[in-house]
Amino acid sequence: MTYTRCVSMTRQRGTPASPFTPLQWSCGVLARVEPIPESAAAPIKVLHLARAQAVWQRRGPLLRVAWLLLETLILNNRLVTFSGVRVALLRAFGARIGQRCRLLQPLRVKSPWLLEMGNDCWLGESVWICNQDRVSIGSNVCLSQGVFLTTGSHDVRATMDLQVAPIVIEDGAWISAMCVVQRGITVGRSAVVTPLSVVHKSLAPGGIYGGNPCRFVRSRF
C-alpha cells in the first residue's frame, strides 16, 4: 500500500500556476499530494478478534432463548401497543420496575435481570438498553426516542476483550432523542442531555449538556 502526504505552499499574486499534480486550492493555498515510501510508514498492528474474551452476567441458555423470543414478539413489536404488557414481561424476567412507567414500542432490552427503574418513567420509541451490566434508572426519568444505553465496550489497545461497567441515571434526568450513553456513566439528578449527544463522562446534577463529546451548556434551573 502507498501512503500519501500533502505538501502545501502559498501562491503569490501574479505567480503562474505550478505544474504539480494533482493540485488542490483551498483558501489561497496550493496543495501537492506526493507518495510516502512504505518503508517510512510505521506499521499498524491488527488485533485478532478471534482471541477476544466476552465475560458478563449471562443467564442459562434456555432463559436467554426464551427472552430472545419474547423480546422479539412483544417488547420489540410495534403492533403490541400496551405498555403494561411490556412492563409485566420485563418484571417476569427479573427487571425491577416501579409504578406508572410508560414504555413505548418498539423497545429493546438485552438483559432484563440487570435493569432497575423507579416510578413514573417514560421510555420513547426505539429505546435500546444494551445492558451486559446493571442499568439503574431513577424515578421521573425520560429516555426519548432512539436513546441507546450501552454498558459494554472493548479493550481497544490490547485484546479487544469485552469491558463492562454499570450505568446510573438519577431521578428527574432527561436523555433526549438519539443520544448515546456509554458504560460506567452516572447522569446526575435532573440533568438534561440534548439530542444526538454522546455521553462519555459522568454528568453533574442540574445541568444541561450536549454535543459529541458531551459538554456542559448551562444550568437547567
What ranges do the domains of the chain cover?
A: 3-40, 50-219
H or E segment at 66? helix 61-70
Q: What is the rounded distance in angstroms from the CA atom of residue 160 to the CA atom of residue 149?
A: 20
pLDDT at residue number 145: 98
Of the listed ranges 36-40, 50-54, 82-86, 123-127, the least confidently predicted one is 36-40
- The class (CATH top level) of 50-219 is mainly beta
pLDDT at residue number 51: 87
pLDDT class of 22 with cuts at 50, 70, 90: very low
Q: Is the pLDDT of residue 5 over 60?
A: no
H or E segment at 92? helix 83-92
pLDDT class of 72 with cuts at 50, 70, 90: very high
Average pLDDT over the chain reads 87
Q: What is the rounded distance in angstroms from the CA atom of residue 7 to the CA atom of residue 94?
A: 61
Which residues face 16 on adjacent strands? none
Q: What is the dihedral of CA 3, 4, 5, 11, to 10 degrees?
A: 170
Environment class of 205 (CB within 10 Å of its CB; exposed 0-12, middle 13-18, buried 19+): middle
Mean pLDDT of 189-212: 98
Q: What is the rounded distance in angstroms from the CA atom of residue 190 to the CA atom of residue 61?
A: 39
Q: Of the candidates 128, 98, 126, which has an alpha carbon nearest to the alpha carbon of residue 110?
A: 128
pLDDT class of 53 with cuts at 50, 70, 90: confident
